[in-house]
Structure 1
Amino acid sequence: MLAPSAAVAAEPAPASPPANRSYASVDPASLLLFSVTLDGATLTEGLGAYGLATDPLIPMGELARLLEADIDVAPVERRITGRLGQARAPLLVDLNAGLARAGGREFAIGERDAAVTPTEIYLRTSVVQQLLGLTVEVADDELTLRMRAAEKFPVQARLERQARRPDQGQPGQSNEATLKVVEPYAFFTPPGLDVVLDGGLQTGGNNSTFRYDLRFAGDLFWSNLQGYLGSDEEGRATNARVMLQRRSLEGDMLGPFRAREVSVGDVFSPALTMGARSVAGAGFTFSTAPLEQASVFNRIDLRGELPPGYDVELYINDVLRNSTNQSINGRYEFRDIPLSPGINVVRVVTYGPRGERLEEVQVVNVGAALLRRGEAQMAFGIVDQDTPLFRPRRSSRPLIGDPRLFANQGARAVVSVNYGLTDLISLTAGAARIPQPGGGALGVYSLGGRTSLFGLATQLDAAWNGDGGAGVSVGAAGQFGPLSAVLRHAEYRDGFVDETNLSFDARYRVDRRSELTVDSSVNLRGRIVPISMRVLTNNYEGGSYDVIAAGRASSGIGAVLLSAGLEYERRHMRPAASDETLKGYITASTFRSYKWQVRTSLDYDVLPDLKARFLSLTVDRRLSDTWSVRFGLGQPLDNTHDWNVVASSIYATRYGDFALTGEYDNTDADWRVAAQWSFGLGFDPERSRYNILRTGPGSGGSVLFNAFLDENGDGVRQASEAAAPNVALEGAARGALTGRDGRVLVTGLGAGPTAYMDVNLEKLDNPAVATPPTKVQLRPRPGRTARVDYPMRPTGGVMVKVELLRDDGQRVGLASVRVQLVRPGSPPVDGVTEFDGSAMFDAVPVGNWRLQLEPLQAAKLRMRLENDAVIDIQGNGDMAPDVVVQVRFDPPLADTTVAATDGGPR
């Protein structure tokens, strides 16, 4: 979950394209079918492109599937995101902003360089070369795209797989359609569960250990129930959380409030611009603000599920900002993350103990957060601060935030309102009740304004509390050539405590705070390296101060993604002497040959002494589709005698993942041997029973996909209608294939606002079928299984010839005649005759069809058929006997004249 500090997290609404940015349209008449080769290997003979043959518009979704590249195309949001190569170099195309980023390089996208349809984004070949690092030769005379890759793509690394046929090449599929699956909230659905069971033997006080980690979710009371239960190493429940949540992309909840998200249970309170920050606790929250309207002056908090043994890394605009393997009540949390003006690409990369790698991408367009005139947004929350809804036993779990600030409990209530006074001025106001350590509560209030001056987003906020303390904050943000900068300064008086400032020493009273964040890119001998810098200073009462400065950079070098950073801190807390530290890190990762996943990091000190502190190495090797191994090493470099090592063997089955792990720590000669079973329990709504699966149904959405041959065309599977095995589903965390019964239960769809899956008929025994759209769009919810019926109609074909019966009795083929196959209850199948009067109909569903002329053309040209034709389509791709029909042209109607007299018409 990505939550702004100034508002409860809201489901992002699809961004509306700017009115002044209109991209090229796809002209069906300019369709070009290209043959595509990659380093000499043919990927497809029929990639549909549009426009000029010398620089055509290429469908990025289809191209990504052909290359098997990690690229996500979102036509609704008009964005493309992904990772390329073994170094996992980032890629972003944002048509709303008219820019593209690839591996640290940024360039503009012109209005003639792209086209958008409801299900696809097209880019010119010249743009695709820059994005994907390809050399593309367009042989317009042969209609061939010859691609040469600087680094091999996954399709080349997996030689056993054949190139996928592009979507529009599959029989019966419309290139301009998406099958949208909407699963309404229910009063109750059986929950999905994710379970981790871990037992082992070790040295120390407890020779044997057992622990579990349980996540569950499902619909309850027309909302989504999400829960977590975790134990200690003796199998005793220590942590628990439960939340009911309901979301609406359209913002149609709570009547006139038009809320986008409503939550009750273990939630996080909203925050104010000054004074009150987001805090966990049992309570109730709602928000009407979409996430994409985040302000540059509101730092964000990021939270998400973190199972045992997982690591998570945070990248902002391709720069590694933070990482952790520590969970708080089963979740990770990154706090106080600043964003830059403009497009921010937020990537959360999760690494699992069995070599899993999951990447979630959120694109946040950050500006001054100005609202339209008269528009209002609201966030409200009331929580029992730092108190979960259920606490199985007293535990030592860490508090969220500085315990010296939040080590007190009680009801915390927060409300904030944003209002668009004009299109250029927005106002914000808020109030909060904050529990105090000595009992009681303190009222905190804030007022502020947002505007844009000379191209700079500017803000002014003021806050005060019930004890007479007050604060004021001013800020400016903008882009200056290659630099994107945010400057903010705050003054505090009479002991005002600003909880939104986490980077200060709570033992001292803060008088003022200044912060500068700068993001840019540096050209190092032709290599563009994105960098991020931040300077923060706090001045305390009595002349004490501290300064924190950090710089970070990331770039791909060959097949390796390299990140480095330095953090400087100077503290002068009177009467003690000042001290300085300068620390650094270097991390590297690669996905070598798409089989080896290697990660390493080095931590070191520069001040007060130059020394290396710690080296870590993790290697994951996938030996087959079901078996992988892991090796990890941790080495303190200030004491080479202390080290630890871990080795694992993981076997993946349809019933979950089984892992055997051995750990040894040389510091105290400690060892541990453990066995772990990670699995999911997904409910099959059709058979009313649970299935043991791999993990996913308890933390994300699932789909029960039912593919069958729809003989009668009613869209409902009858007992006599055959199943469709070997239909592939792509786009989930793990690919899936329908079984002999035509069904498959797919998990791991996540809990984002939307998810997409592609239906691939490549392995179908008889691909001569007409299908619904092969792109499926869902709104996944944790624990909920959506049912997708996928009727496929067997098809056949027929050749029709239209002849003109002349007055002299001769018959000649008639070109450009629009003809249709029609029958009750089905849309017409259209065709156009060629130069010889012939029209080919293929992929026509089985049944009896009647041939007719297209009514509008027939009426305009006064054409009629001389003979009726009924065609019986048998299916299996077979062709019906050829049909020949004759047409005649009726003479124009004779002119009629109506005579009239003074007495009126006769």
Structure 2
Amino acid sequence: MASIAPFMAGGAAPAQAQDDAMFDRLFGSAPASERAGQAADGLALPALFADGKLIADAIALHDLGAQGGACVAVLPLLEALEVAHEQASAGAHIALTLPEPRRTVTIPAAALLPSPSGDCLTLADAPAHLPLSITHDAVSQRLLIAPTAALPVLMRLAREERHSRLRPETTRPAFALLARPEAAVQLWSADLGAAIATTPQGRQVSANLLASGALLGMAGRVSLGLTNEGRITPGFTLSEARDTPDLLGPLGARSIALGDIATPAQPLIADALSGRGLVISSRAPWRADLVDTITLTGPLPQGWEAELWHEERLIAVTRQPDAAGQWQFGDIPVRIGENRWLVRLYGPNGEVSEEVFTRLVGTEMNAENEVGYSFGVVDGGTPLLGQTLAGEPAGPTAFASIDWGMASEVTARLDLRAGKQGQPAVALGLNGALGGGLWALTGARDRAGGFGGAVRLARRIGAQDVTIDLARHGRDDGPGLAPLVREFAQVMSLAGQGRIGLGRLSLPWQARVQSGSLRRGGDRHVAAARLVVPMPNWQANFALGAVQEGSAPWQGTAAMGLTARRGEWRLRSGVTASDRGGWRIDGANLSAARRVAGGNLALDLDWQADSGKLGGGVTYAKTFGPLGLSASAGREGAGWRAGVGLTLGLWRGPQRWRTAPAGIARSGAIMAEMFVDEDGDGVRGADEAGVEGGRFIVGAALRREETAADGTVLIGGIAPGPDVDIETQMSSLTDFTLRPERAGDRLALRPGEIRHVPVALRPTSSIEVQVLLVAGDRRTPRSGVTVVLHDTQGREAARARTDFDGYALFDGLSFGTYQAEAAGQSTAALAVSRDNPDAQTRLLIPAATGS
């Protein structure tokens, strides 16, 4: 809560009695801590944030007393969120128009409270009338928006960010890009882990290592897993990716990966593969894909769990890495327009990490005559070192893809793939836009010499997407192909997805009808639908499906899932059922996690109807500084199990190795060092003090990490790849005379890289000038007068306009000598230095000039 006190300038007239009465009527005359009432209490002006983005610098928030909570000025809130609204008069109901899908909802007049800032809506009532929830962080004075549906301001910001990302060469960077440190071999960070467990199969001991560094200018990642059974699981990858096409000289590549890699799918002739190999591409990995389903991947350390979220709903969960040690979510359907997924990683010791993936579909056709490519080799299912983990490895394969913008709305794509078995496979396709819809046409010759083809038509109708697929596959059904190609000789499907507007709610839905001829003979027909109900603190998923093979009767399946946050608890549950001669429950599961005594407690229960057995367990994890300790016990099918685990993270600082919680080697991090640069050389000297309590803005997020007494802070969890900006939160500096020598820095991090960023603060000075109008023996402050500050060379250093008391303040000035000038009059020389950083003066102007 912020108190309000009037600023009284010297010599100013006192406030009128009626003004005092008005102030008291609106805000009360008692101290804020003693007042209570309907939105007539203490006023705070917190900043507004949504999805980590600053939406507004200040929104009026009124305290309703100890039992009433707080209420936010609703009209400024709607304007900040860019939500279209209409209100006939103050106190009347407010009609809102929400997008995606377009619908109208109403905030009733009964929900609005009067306040000095206009109509006010309590934070507790916001989820009942708006597609969002609001929490107030009183410590940092921030209002945090958690949207449950699309908000116009976030759509606009995402659109601008997407345009900048898709066309980085046309966007002028806000800050200078920092050069990468030059080193032939360098180790950045490492995660260490060890575990011992007792299971029905016997005692198991394991250890693992994940390390990141640089080798010959590329980012390197090494993983190693060991067990007491003698099994060794190594992994190694070298990669480099950037926004500019300057890799490999004339090839103009943007990304290269070598070692344990993942390759993209190729229509009709190949599925996405993981294994040892090499891939070179003219597109950065974070660039958008063409019209198709996509595969998302990333590193998954041992014992970690990955959740895939899309539009505020949980899509999938995986705990098993692929052959390259990656989590992988494949065959993800994309919507027309922007697609945004959030992958949440949960570690065995309570670690939480998030990574956002954005794909734009429909407008990412190549520009006319723009050419993109990717090519390489991969031994599908086989890691670079060690034995294969795949049951049916795809084997060595060479592949290439090239796409060309034939016209502004038509892109051609050629795919080639050749392995040790069969003939080279080739696919030729066209992707385009026509009449507000999208289309894709592909023809292919497979490894067995068979011919196939596919047609896709997609169109957005309102906020709903409809897709029609027709495909006839060739003769090849070997490993390395997409499951649909291996299973069906021909198939057709009709699918839709979108959002259903239901008042303030926007309910995501998906539906699919598929019919095809199986390669083994017979037909299969499938119908499935899913509906999600997203609420501020919970969401429900409902799925219903049915399958028919040949002339057999339809077999139905159903599932219901629920994820929720209840206080400190994070809950996830599910129930599955099937119709096999009558509906019955097949199984159920429940997971719950929360923080307890500084650690994380997780409970898991599962029940299988066929066996009638109940399984599950409990895990408790806690970090002691950088050391993570976990213990678990539970029951599985054959008996009881118990175990303990230990983790530790290491990273290389400017002078020595330091410790950190495990997970440091997976993402990027910045080690910022803030200090007072007394000599102005930008390099910290032995006698230059660090600045404690400094905070930073990274990307669009206000980070809470603060510099320690030595001026250093580790800011982790930064997505590697795209450029990210870092700048100082000026409000965190207690010494207002300090200013950063650079407004900010831009840098591109690689996985596991810890970049040292010196933040030099230079001492500055200030000069305050009061402009007075002279008329006889009267001197009157003049507002709105332009004051120009000149240096000793006569050059303009700064300019400002005087306020209502005639003052103009120049701060952030370098030390030196200045002279102020206004209305043809000048001051004497004003010298400011480290010992005398502030100067004040008066500038007198005659009446004829001042008027």
Matched, 1:635 2:604: no
Counterpart CA distance in 2 for 1:38 and 1:359 is 40
Provide the residue aligned with 1:12 in structure 2: none
Aligned pair partner of 1:197 in 193, 201, 205: 193
Task: Quote how far apart the aligned CAs of 1:532 are.
Answer: 1.0
* CA distance 1:109–1:725, shift in 2 (3 Å): farther
Higher relative contact order (CA 8 A, sep 6+): 1
Measured in 1, the distance between the counterparts of 2:38 and 2:718 equals 31
Preserved contact between residue 518 and residue 532 of structure 1 (Cα < 8 Å): yes
Per the TM alignment, residue 830 of structure 1 is displaced from its structure 2 partner at its CA by 3.1
Determine whether 1:182 maps to 2:178.
yes
Distance change (3 Å), C-alpha of 1:524 and 1:214: same
Q: CA deviation at 1:817?
A: 3.2
Shift of 1:444: 0.8
Q: Residue by residue, what CA displacement relative to the aligned partner does 1:869-889 show, whole Å, maximum 9, x if unpaired?
A: 3142658xx984530234689
Distance 1:350 1:608, change over 3 A: farther
Taking the TM superposition and a 5 Å limit, the aligned residue runs for 1:119-158 are 148-150=123-125
2:23 aligns with none
For 1:244 and 1:761, how far apart are their aligned partners in 2? 39
On the 8 A contact 1:368/1:450 being kept in 2, the answer is no
CA root-mean-square deviation: 4.4
Q: What pairs with 1:173-252 in structure 2 (closer than 5 Å)? A: 182-184=178-180, 186-188=182-184, 190-207=186-203, 209-232=204-227, 234=228, 236-252=230-246
The correspondence for 2:401, drawn from 416, 420, 425, is 416
How big is each residue's C-alpha offset from its partner over 1:70-90, in whole Å with a ceiling of 9 and x where there is no partner?
xxxxxxxxxxxxxxxxxxxxx
**What secondary structure is seen at the aligned counterpart in 2 of 1:307?**
coil
Q: Structure 2 length as normaliser, TM-score?
A: 0.77
Pairing 1:117-516 to 2, within 5 Å after superposition: 148-150=123-125, 161-163=139-141, 182-184=178-180, 186-188=182-184, 190-207=186-203, 209-232=204-227, 234=228, 236-289=230-283, 292-296=287-291, 298-329=292-323, 330-367=325-362, 369-391=364-386, 394=387, 397-398=389-390, 403=392, 407-410=393-396, 412-436=397-421, 441-465=422-446, 467-493=448-474, 501-503=482-484, 506=487, 510-516=488-494
Residues in 2 aligned to 1:616 and 1:43: alpha-carbon distance in whole angstroms: 47
Superposed displacement of residue 203, structure 1? 4.3
| Offset, 1:267 | 1.8
Is 1:564 equivalent to 2:542 in the alignment? Answer: yes
Q: Secondary structure at the match of 1:353?
A: coil
Letter in 2 for 1:186: E
Cα separation, partners in 2 of 1:634 and 1:498, compared to 1, 3 Å: closer
Distance (Å, rounded) in 2 between the aligned partners of 1:435 and 1:694: 45
Tell me the residue number matched to 1:671: 641
Of residues 35-44 and 628-637 in structure 1, the stretch that sits farther from structure 2 once superposed is 35-44
8 Å CA contact 1:178, 1:773 repeated in 2: no
Q: Cα distance 1:764–1:341, how it changes in 2: closer, same or farther (>3 A)? A: closer
Gaps of 5+ in 2: 1-26, 63-77, 83-96, 145-171
Alignment check: 8 A CA contact 1:197 1:210 kept:
no
Q: In 2, Cα distance between the equivalents of 1:604 and 1:165?
A: 42
C-alpha distance in structure 2 between counterparts of 1:48 and 1:308, whole Å: 38
Cα distance in 2 for residues equivalent to 1:426 and 1:230: 44
- CA shift in 2, pair 1:790/1:466, >3 Å: closer
C-alpha deviations, 1:242-294, integer Å up to 9, x for none? Answer: 11111111223233432221112222334433312332232221112465542
Structure 2: how far apart are the matches of 1:653 and 1:604?
43
Partners of 1:289 and 1:38 lie apart in 2 by 57
Counterpart of 2:178, as a letter, is V
Amino acid at match of 1:868: A
TM-score between the two structures when normalised by the length of structure 1: 0.72
CA change 1:822–1:138 in 2 (3 A) is: farther
1:720 aligns with 2:665: no
Matched-pair contact (CA < 8 Å) for 1:185–1:223: no
1:551-602, CA deviations, whole angstroms, 9 ceiling, x for partnerless residues?
Answer: 2222224621222223333233xxxx74653323222222333x22222222
Give a deviation string over 1:389-444, Cα, whole Å, max 9, x none: 211xx46x235xxx3xxx3523x1111211122223222222221332xxxx4211
Task: Select 2:619's aligned residue among 642, 645, 648.
Answer: 648
How far the C-alpha of 1:544 sits from its partner, in A, is: 1.3
| Letter in structure 2 aligned against 1:612 | I
CA contact (8 A) 1:443 1:466 kept: yes
Question: 1:482 & 1:48 partners in 2: Cα distance?
Answer: 28
Deviation readout 1:611-631 (Å, 9 max, x if unpaired): 22222222222235x333222
Q: Distance in 2 between matches of 1:714 and 1:827?
A: 24
Matched, 1:751 2:720: yes
Cα offset, 1:520, TM superposition:
2.3
**Contact persistence 1:586–1:602 (CA under 8 A):** yes
Structure 1 gap ranges (5+): 1-34, 50-57, 68-90, 96-104, 111-125, 167-175, 892-906
1:665-814, aligned counterparts within 5 Å? 665=636, 667-672=637-642, 674-684=643-653, 686-687=654-655, 689-729=656-696, 735-755=704-724, 759-760=728-729, 765-771=734-740, 778-795=747-764, 797-803=766-772, 813-814=781-782
The equivalent of 1:838 in structure 2 is 807
Q: Residue type matched to 1:434 in 2?
A: G
Secondary structure of the residue aligned to 1:327 is coil
Counterpart Cα distance in 1 of 2:328 and 2:479? 20
Q: For the residues of structure 2 that align with 1:761 and 1:42, how far apart are their CA atoms?
A: 26
* Alpha-carbon distance, 1:741 to partner: 0.8
CA shift, 1:720, in A, is: 2.6
Deviation of residue 462 (structure 1)? 1.0
- Contact 1:65–1:164 under 8 Å retained in 2: no
Question: In structure 2, what is the equivalent of residue 882 of structure 1?
Answer: 840
For 1:389 and 1:827, the matched residues in 2 are separated by 63
**Aligned twin of 1:870:** 830
The amino acid across from 2:600 in the alignment is S
Pairs within 5 Å for 1:524-563: 527-540=505-518, 543-557=521-535, 559-563=537-541
Query: Which has the higher mean CA deviation after the structures are superposed, 371-380 or 608-617?
Result: 608-617
1:802–1:426 Cα change, 3 Å: same
Q: Percent identity?
A: 20
Quick one: distance in 2 between partners of 1:213 and 1:550? 41
Task: State the Cα distance separating 1:165 from its structure 2 match.
Answer: 11
Could you tell me which of 587, 595, 603 is aligned with 2:561?
587
Q: What is the CA-CA distance between 1:661 and the residue it aligns to?
A: 2.0
Bigger CA drift: 469-478 or 777-786? 777-786
Q: What code does the residue aligned with 1:421 have?
A: M
Cα distance in 2 between the residues matched to 1:817 and 1:733: 36
Superposition deviation, residue 500 in structure 1: 5.2
Q: Over residues 824-872 of structure 1, what are the superposed CA-to-partner deviations in whole Å (9 max), with x where a residue is unaligned?
A: 899934321235543234x43573341333xxxx7xxxx5444423142
